[in-house]
């Protein structure tokens, strides 16, 4: 079985997604820092889980070569 180029490309895409998401959340932190601590907690919990949503199709593409 020959190695696929999709796995290294997918790993690069996952790392790029994480860097982008961290930058986005960090850029919002001055505004979020003025909120009540409960609102901050909810914001960071939601933002910490949202970035996982694009991973399922990406991981499926890495394994099968198809998006669906």
Domain boundaries, the chain: 27-68
pLDDT of residue 32: 95
CB-based contact 40:33 (threshold 8 Å): yes
Q: What is the pLDDT of residues 4-36, one digit of tens each?
A: 888 899 999 999 999 999 999 999 999 999 999
Q: Any residues with CB less than 8 A from the CB of 65 and at least 6 apart, and which?
A: 4, 6
pLDDT of residue 23: 96
pLDDT of residue 40: 97
Mean of per-residue pLDDT scores for the chain: 90
What is the spatial distance between Cα 15 and Cα 26, in angstroms, rounded to a whole number? 16
Q: Any residues with CB less than 8 A from the CB of 7 and at least 6 apart, and which?
A: 62
Tokens of 24: 């986005």
CA end-to-end span of the chain: 23
**pTM of the predicted structure, to 2 decimals:** 0.77
Q: What is the pLDDT of residues 39-54, one digit of tens each?
A: 999 999 999 999 888 8
């Amino acid at each position: 079985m020959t190695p696929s180029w999709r796995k290294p490309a997918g790993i690069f895409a996952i790392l790029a997604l994480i860097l982008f998401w961290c930058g986005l959340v960090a850029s919002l932190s001055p505004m979020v820092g003025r909120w009540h601590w409960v609102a901050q907690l909810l914001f960071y919990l939601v933002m910490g889980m949202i970035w996982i949503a694009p991973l399922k199709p990406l991981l499926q593409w890495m394994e099968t070569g198809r998006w669906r």
